[in-house]
Structures are given as structure tokens and as C-alpha cells.
């Protein structure tokens, strides 16, 4: 078993098995994040929301970032948020696999960014499988969209409302559907 910290291994894309001796750390970290989320989700002060989100992500959240709470995050330390980002109500971010949100990204209500999942095989299903999500500059993620592990949404691209994105989206493209398919180039 690796002696490397479990969060570093996850950030590097390693699958974590349920018998991993450090697995308990994921749950402990989630509860610590939840304490800050309760404060953040009960605030209507944009400066306080950004300050708490900075603590959750362990990074500076620029004053140009707007977050309409509630926002749900299971860890936080693997999220990087650029400038002029807008995150609307009721988004869910599972970030153990890492999530990068570049400048000028719009995230509509009820979006799920899921950098974590489980293997399909029944015998391995309790393992945690991760994949980094990258929302490139000026992307727009429509209401209720789900972005699955390991996906990159290209620069200037649009994900239509209600879509499930299971493949990378090229730059300057609109995708939609379940699974999301290219609708047109912009």
C-alpha cells in the first residue's frame, strides 16, 4: 500500500480501494468542509461567501467571483477557480479527482461537477475512481447538467441544460443530450 497521502494520490488520478488505510481521511475531511459550508450557505454577504470558499478551497477566491448559495462540496482542496466565474444556486461539486474552473466560466443552477465515481465491476464497486474535470475559459454549463469524471469542457463551449457529459467537449462547441453530443460549432 502506498505511503503517499491519500489526497495526493487521488489528485494524481489513483483509484482508492475501500481497505486503504487512509480511506477514513476522506470522510473526516468532508465533515470539516461541511462545517464551513453550513456557514457559507447561510450567508447572504458575497464577501463572506468568498472568504469561506477560500478557506474551503485553500486558495484565494477573486473578488470578481460570484457564488449564489447553496453550494455543495465534499472536499474543496482540489478545486481551483479563476476570475469572473459565476456559480448559480444549488450546484454540487465532488472534487477529490480535481476540478479546474478557468476565468469567465458560467455555471447555471443545479449543475453537478463529479470528478469521482466507482468502477463498474461489482467486486471493485466500493473503490473510488477519479478523473480531473477542466472547465476552460468562457465555458457555459447549462442548468441541471452533469459533468462526469475526467472531462474537459473546451474554451467558449456551451453544455445545454440537462445534459450528461461523458466525453470531452472541443473548444467553441455546443453539446446537449444524454449522453451529450455535438449540436453545432460556434
CATH code of the domain containing 12: 2.160.10.10
pTM as predicted: 0.95
Grid cell for residue 32: 470539516
Percent of the chain with pLDDT over 70: 98
**In-domain check, residue 148:** yes
CB 128 within 8 A of CB 94: no
Give the cell for residue 15: 483509484
How many domains, the chain?
1
Q: Is residue 141 part of a domain?
A: yes
Whether 88 maps to a domain, the answer reads yes
| Active-site position among 78, 118, 126, 132 | 118
104-148 pLDDT tens trace: 999 999 999 999 999 999 999 999 999 999 999 999 999 999 999
Question: pLDDT digit string (tens) for 40-52?
Answer: 999 999 999 999 9
Q: Is residue 1 part of a domain?
A: no
Is 118 one of the annotated active-site residues of the chain? Answer: yes
Query: What's the pLDDT score for residue 1?
Result: 47
Alpha-carbon distance of 12 to 32, in angstroms, equals: 22
Amino acid at each position: 500500500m502506498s505511503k503517499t497521502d491519500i489526497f495526493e494520490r487521488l489528485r494524481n488520478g489513483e483509484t482508492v480501494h475501500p481497505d486503504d488505510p487512509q480511506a477514513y481521511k476522506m470522510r473526516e475531511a468532508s465533515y470539516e468542509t461541511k462545517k464551513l459550508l453550513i456557514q457559507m450557505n447561510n450567508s447572504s454577504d458575497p464577501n463572506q461567501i468568498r472568504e469561506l470558499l477560500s478557506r474551503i478551497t485553500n486558495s484565494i477566491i477573486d473578488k470578481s467571483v460570484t457564488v449564489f448559495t447553496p453550494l455543495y462540496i465534499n472536499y474543496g482542496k482540489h478545486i481551483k477557480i479563476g476570475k469572473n466565474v459565476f456559480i448559480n444556486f444549488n450546484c454540487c461539486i465532488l472534487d477529490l479527482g480535481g476540478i479546474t474552473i478557468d476565468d469567465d466560466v458560467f455555471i447555471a443552477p443545479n449543475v453537478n461537477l463529479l470528478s469521482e465515481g466507482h468502477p463498474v465491476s461489482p467486486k471493485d464497486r466500493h473503490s473510488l475512481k477519479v478523473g480531473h474535470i477542466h472547465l476552460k475559459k468562457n465555458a457555459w454549463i447549462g442548468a441541471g447538467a452533469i459533468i462526469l469524471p475526467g472531462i474537459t469542457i473546451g474554451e467558449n463551449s456551451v453544455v445545454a441544460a440537462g445534459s450528461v457529459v461523458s466525453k470531452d467537449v472541443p473548444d467553441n462547441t455546443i453539446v446537449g443530450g444524454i449522453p451529450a453530443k455535438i449540436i453545432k460549432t460556434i
